[in-house]
A = this chain, B = another copy of it.
Amino acid sequence: MLKISELGARTGLSPHTIRFYEKHGLIEASTRTEAGYRYYNDSDVRRAEFVKTARNIGFSLDDIGQLLSIRVDKESHSCQEVTDITRHKLNEVNERIAELESMRTTLSRLLASCCGGPEQATHCSIMDALDNGEVETRQRAGTA
């Protein structure tokens, strides 16, 4: 039986994050001491590790919730349900990659066009391009 900080050490999650995941139904301590301390048994630990693995892959907490509900009752769920979740995630990832690649292309082209030197930016081709909207503008914006 592990305490919360020990589970944290095992999984690489902070106690704060573990409690946060608990609040969202992802992780549970099947035992509590009288004082309320959480204790995690082997099954709890495996579930927590499952969560961490899924998180590392990039699944959202919501996705993970669905995967967990399959995990606790595999007989009632199909491989298709699992691949649906996985494929949906893959589609999101592919879309985002396409957006980012479009940004990359634009940024590279801009960089290639500018001297990058210490001269005044009055003649800067990047500023010019931004001023003139000379940029293929297919995708949604968004942080890196």
Decide if A2 is an interface residue (CB 8 Å cutoff): no
Q: Is there contact, CB below 8 Å, between A122 and B57?
A: no
Q: How many copies does the complex hold?
A: 2
Closest residue of B by beta carbon distance from A92:
B144
Q: Is there contact, CB below 8 Å, between B104 and A74?
A: no
How far apart are A139's CB and chain B's nearest CB, in angstroms?
Answer: 8
Q: Is there contact, CB below 8 Å, between A53 and B133?
A: yes
Contact with B along A91-102 (1 / 0, CB 8 A): 011111101110
Q: Is there contact, CB below 8 Å, between B133 and A74?
A: no
Q: Give complex CA distance A100, B28 in Å.
A: 29
Residues of chain A touching chain B, judged by Cβ–Cβ distance below 8 Å, are: 46, 49-50, 52-60, 67, 70-71, 74-83, 86-87, 89-90, 92-97, 99-101, 103-104, 106-108, 110-111, 114-124, 126-127, 130-131, 133, 135, 137, 139, 141-144
